[in-house]
Amino acid sequence: MPSLPAIAPFLGDTSRLKAYRKYSDASAVGFLSAILFAVFSEPVKTYVDFGEKWMALSGLPYQMNTAMLGFIVGFGFVRIWLLMRLQIMKSLLSYRGWMHNPKSTTTKLWALMLNALRGTGDFPTFFFEPLLPKLPVPDLNSTCERCLASFRPILSDEDYMNLLTAMITFKEKDGPRLQQYLLQKAAVEDNWLSEYWLNIAYLAHRGPSAIKVNCYATDRKELPSHNQIARAANLIHWTISFYEHLKEDTLIPQYLQEMIPLSMEGYRRQFCTTRLPGEHIDSLRTYEESKHVVIYRNGVYYKLDMYAPDSDGKDRLLTVTELYDIIKNIMEQTNDTKECCEVAVFTAQKRDVWANIRQRLLVSENCESLEAVESAITFISLDSATPKTIDENGTYTMVGDGINRWHDKSVQFTISANGKLGINLEHASTDGSLPGRLWEYVLHNEKYNEDGDIVRQHYKRPLPKPQRLTWNLKEFQKDIESSVKFYRSLANDFELVVTSPDYGKGFMKKQRLSPDGYIQMALQLAYYKLHNKIAKTYESASTRIFRKGRTETIRSVSEFSAQWVKSMQNERATREQRAMLLRKAVQYQTQYKMDASCGLGWDRHLVGLYCMCMEKGLPIPALFKDKSFLMPDALSTSQTPTSYTRQWSMQTSCMGGGFSPVSDQGYGVSYMIYGEDLIKFHVTSVKSVTSTSSAKMADAICDAMQDMKNLLS
């Protein structure tokens, strides 16, 4: 396959040429062709004579005309051929049979062609984005049927009849018109869903982002160092190094099954991005030219430029050693400080409240400091807490102490006094799985000596001095008091328990069952054991095989899963019946997952139809007001990807992450599969709700996993 620069000119800004290459392969072929035409001009004399006639006015010598014609032929041929290759690749990426029929002859031929066209070169980060297919608009009838099938096992006969009536009315009256509008939108936009989902799922949410919307990831199991400064220096350096790869378009694209490129669009807002509160809806702002980070310690904020001129006068990233000395200086300055700025607690408030306070900050002397925080590449908090367990690490990373988390930053980091790291993510700007690649990169690259200190390097250049940000919050004291009180109610209500069953996916694979489907059934059984009812369940599926793709919903509950969990509590059910129902339930979930990943789930489609209804100013259909349709998810679940690149190792892997439950009466369950024998579950709930308990749910999951193993053994 031709190397990258030969193809890049067809993709515009998304595929910049690498700095060390001046000419594309098409130009190189053009020059070679020009030489050949000039040296061997007799075979092309007819064409050269023709060329002389229309170039007579140029006054160019015969050999020059020959060479020019050769360049045009060679350059044009390669450009046309490469354009054809791109179009073929674009068509191949629209094929979905590899997911449903992976062993078919068609799929094997498709894979050979795709690999041949893609080659083995390193492509720019966003190279494949224009080649990815658009997210499809599902068939309206299929969506309605899928929706009803998902609700049937969890509703009473009366509620289901009401939903069925509303669905039939919608399908016959309002649905077709809204479907046509949505199809028209899909025809002219890269992704018909992306803006709708961003607004309705995140930016229009008026409750707090802190704890309720944000998510977290924990540190590795065995810390390579307990030195807070050493880990902070490594963390900051390697985080900005990763950011540089994104800026320079050199971060290798991510592939599914090492073959199918995934959308990298979500990485555009991973850094330098802040969620800005608005009166009715928030907005995301990315400060693309930002070159600084904000470091927080003991109530003091510092703005630190991450680049300094080297001996050749060019700005280069601060090294780990330089960062260590700068952070050590910050620590010394803030050890005995009496200053304690509480401005960050506003970011934990309800969005409308925070929007009002922020407007007042912007017209006060705090404006410059506020802008420094919001425009930073990232936010780093040097904490005084010393979390020991994974549970404590996750909890403290998520909630902080109220004033040491800037919950609006797309990504922020915590470094505890004992060296434990954590990452806190604002969910609107990026999906929870994307920063996992950054986390893997940081944890793989950090280096320490035997004493847990940095591997020190000599430097001569003068270091940038951190700028201490000043705040005057005298006029905001009442706001601070109410916000601290509000924050405490949120933080005290967050309950996290991390647990692991006695076995992993190895046993599931031996049973020829999808590990993800198997685990989802364990969650169903655990919930049923505790609450004696079927849980409306959300599981996220990635749609990044599409342009600007984010997620779709997997509805794991089916008639099979409902009958299976009931059979596990029914003494009359035989072992064979239980095993059969379990296999059917897992197969259903697996099929639904594939369909959802192909953009054929019902949730996002109905969101799009609802948003289109609002956009056109039409009356809201009864379906979107039905109490069953609006029922919150009792189980909000997600599988966290374990590895992103070949750099991953168990030694440097994080111990998972998680999120709060969508419903206060429900659970948030995130799980991460490590190798063949280990699974980590992060189970969250709301403490003040007595009907739920993270500890009891965690125990029930382990019990359910054991019951399933006993059933199939």
568 in any annotated domain: yes
Same domain, yes or no: 486 and 528? no
Share of the chain above pLDDT 70, in %: 89
Same domain, yes or no: 457 and 528? no
Same domain, yes or no: 364 and 400? yes
Last residue of a domain, one of 122, 138, 173: 122
Compute the radius of gyration of the chain from its Cα atoms: 29
Average pLDDT, the chain: 91
Over residues 568-594, the pLDDT tens digits come to 999 999 999 999 999 999 999 999 999
**Containing domain of residue 526, as a range?**
500-536+556-599+632-713
Same domain, yes or no: 522 and 434? no
Q: How far apart are CA 338 and CA 518, in angstroms?
A: 54
Residue 17 scores a pLDDT above 50: no
Whole-number pLDDT of residue 116 = 85
Residue 460's pLDDT band, with cuts at 50, 70 and 90, is confident
Residue 28's pLDDT band, with cuts at 50, 70 and 90, is low
Same domain, yes or no: 453 and 524? no
Last residue of a domain, one of 122, 145, 165: 122
Same domain, yes or no: 236 and 105? no
Q: How far apart are CA 257 and CA 640, in angstroms?
A: 16
Residue closest to 255 by CA, chosen among 407, 73, 93 = 93
Give the CATH number, domain containing residue 666.
3.30.559.10
Share of the chain above pLDDT 90, in %: 81
Q: Would you give the distance in Å from CA 333 to the centre of its chain? A: 37
Average pLDDT over residues 187-209: 96
CB atoms within 10 A of CB 570: 12
Q: How far apart are CA 551 and CA 575, in angstroms?
A: 37
Whole-number pLDDT of residue 75 = 66
Residue 463 DSSP code: P
Q: How far apart are CA 118 and CA 131, in angstroms?
A: 12
625 in any annotated domain: no
609 in any annotated domain: no
356 in any annotated domain: yes
Average pLDDT over residues 93-101: 90
Domain count, the chain: 3
Cα angle for residues 535, 537, 538 (degrees, 5° grid): 165
Same domain, yes or no: 506 and 461? no
Residue closest to 616 by CA, chosen among 182, 195, 282, 135 = 182
551 in any annotated domain: no
Whole-number pLDDT of residue 536 = 97
Whole-number pLDDT of residue 363 = 95
Last residue of a domain, one of 122, 142, 166: 122
The answer to which of 30-44, 141-155, 579-593 has the lowest mean pLDDT is 30-44
Rounded to 5 degrees, what are φ and ψ at 472? -130, 105
Whole-number pLDDT of residue 385 = 96
Longest dimension (CA), the chain: 99
384 in any annotated domain: yes
Same domain, yes or no: 468 and 584? no
Active site residue 682: no
Residue closest to 538 by CA, chosen among 549, 527, 546 = 527
Whole-number pLDDT of residue 49 = 55
pTM of the model: 0.90
Residue ranges of the alpha helices (H) in 299-448?
320-334, 351-362, 367-374, 390-399, 435-445
Residue 5 scores a pLDDT above 50: no
User: Which H or E run contains 709?
Assistant: helix 694-712
548 in any annotated domain: no
Same domain, yes or no: 104 and 213? no
Residue 11's pLDDT band, with cuts at 50, 70 and 90, is very low
Residue 640 DSSP code: E
Same domain, yes or no: 523 and 656? yes
Same domain, yes or no: 78 and 114? yes
Give the CATH number, domain containing residue 350.
3.30.559.70
166 in any annotated domain: no
Whole-number pLDDT of residue 81 = 66
Residue closest to 326 by CA, chosen among 306, 310, 340, 299 = 306
Catalytic residue among 237, 292, 407, 427: 427
Over residues 378-423, the pLDDT tens digits come to 999 999 999 999 999 999 999 999 999 999 999 999 999 999 999 9
Same domain, yes or no: 269 and 369? yes
